[in-house]
A and B are shown apart, each in its own frame.
Chain A
């Protein structure tokens, strides 16, 4: 119970601090953020957009890990864990896409411009969509678990291409891109200590929130399946 209160306080602090703390040219007080050229006030999205994008990838990774486990042990609980992770993953993926697009409207002038990061988050959305379409098309539980596990693993193999390679062959606008001169690598140089602290607190808080939701999610799937089996014979 104590950690739930801690999580509430942490996320409340991150939300208030991320929105309310001012951005000034030369930070002097502990609650002031530095002015980052090229990002300006838009820089604050980092506290909410980056954790969602991070979690959509973490969810995909966990879904793949439990797919591996399922293929190894043929235990349907692992399939439930993989499914619950992907369910949360698609929510965070949509959130990351939408917050990113809204931010891009103000920072780059249009909602969508096929930046490498936008291309890769779009591919991730497509993978999640295809994965759920595949799952819903199969009746038998074991077959569904096996085929969706195989698909998740194959799809995960394309992630390195999007994360590491696409940004190199396509020109990018996103902060942190290879050819980004004015606002790039944000995390390394341009944030000051308190901004980094709140950023990492936000990352930690959202990650704990994700694991909590995932825990509830997979348990409810497992219980639902058990009840179904019990009463339908």
Chain B
């Protein structure tokens, strides 16, 4: 199963390398969104809590612009039926999740570098807390957006529905992640952030389990 899932990931990865569709659109989206924020801030100095919020705003909308490709592209190219014949639903979900996970991590590392270069408020004091919360936050983002991408790829309307469906599901994750990012700016210790970290880990586990259980129903026509 894992070998097949990895093969599916490699297939997506290669087709991404050839077309560079998702990477290009994601990179441009990140640049556009960040520059809009920079223009609107102008010469004002913004607080750290606002910086943490804006950081997750860009992450959310970039994820919404790129992550639906995983399943929508299969429907567009008409290859989803072939995939159904070749592998079990859970294998397909694993492969797609792996691809989205890699995409989210690359995208968010770029966003973090951009933010730490461009925003004065983006000064991480507790780096390990930031990295741990960044890891679990991104994992949750990838899991929830992959299952929603599967749903909208089977539904008719593709582009506009994705952020609408994802936002309520991602809201607990985003609110907690903003809190955690702010805490890492303020230099809070792990014991201060224990509660928030456990929320985010719970969210990841719940969403991962539910996605694997429910993906069968979405995938089979």
Chain A interfacial positions (CB closer than 8 Å to B): 71, 119, 123, 126-127, 129-130, 133-134, 137-139, 143, 146-147, 149-151, 153-155, 157-158, 161-162, 165-166, 168-170
A139 contacts which chain B residues (CB < 8 A)?
A: 156
Among B144, B157, B214, B218, which residue has its beta carbon within 8 angstroms of that of A137? B157
Shortest B68–chain A CB gap in Å is 14
Query: A-B contact count, CB below 8 Å?
Result: 81
B207 contacts which chain A residues (CB < 8 A)?
A: 154, 157
Name the residue of chain A whose CB is nearest to the CB of B144. A154
| A–B complex contacts, Cβ < 8 Å, 21 sampled | A71-B214, A123-B171, A127-B168, A130-B165, A133-B165, A134-B161, A137-B161, A139-B156, A143-B154, A143-B155, A146-B218, A147-B218, A150-B214, A151-B151, A154-B210, A155-B169, A157-B206, A162-B172, A169-B175, A169-B179, A170-B175
Q: Dominant SS at the A interface? A: helix
A155 lies within 8 A of B168 (CB)? yes
Shortest B194–chain A CB gap in Å is 12
Instruction: Give Cα distance in the complex from A153 to B169, angstroms.
Output: 11
A147 lies within 8 A of B151 (CB)? yes
B56 contacts which chain A residues (CB < 8 A)?
A: none
B172 contacts which chain A residues (CB < 8 A)?
A: 158, 161-162, 165-166
Tell whether B147 is near chain A: CB-to-CB under 8 Å: yes
A119 contacts which chain B residues (CB < 8 A)?
A: 175
A130 lies within 8 A of B168 (CB)? yes
Instruction: Give Cα distance in the complex from A127 to B148, angstroms.
Output: 13
Range for the number of chain B residues in contact with chain A: 20 to 34
B176 contacts which chain A residues (CB < 8 A)?
A: 169
Instruction: Give Cα distance in the complex from A139 to B147, angstroms.
Output: 21
User: CB-defined interface of B150-165 with A at 8 Å, one 1/0 digit per residue?
Assistant: 0100111100010011
6 A-B pairs closest in CB distance: A161-B172, A137-B157, A126-B168, A127-B168, A150-B214, A130-B165
B155 contacts which chain A residues (CB < 8 A)?
A: 134, 137-138, 143, 147
A126 contacts which chain B residues (CB < 8 A)?
A: 167-168, 171
B171 lies within 8 A of A158 (CB)? yes
A147 contacts which chain B residues (CB < 8 A)?
A: 151, 154-155, 218
Instruction: Give Cα distance in the complex from A71 to B217, angstroms.
Output: 7
Instruction: Give Cα distance in the complex from A137 to B214, angstroms.
Output: 20
Instruction: Give Cα distance in the complex from A5 to B149, angstroms.
Output: 49
Name the residue of chain B whose CB is nearest to the CB of A146. B217
A170 contacts which chain B residues (CB < 8 A)?
A: 175
Shortest A29–chain B CB gap in Å is 47
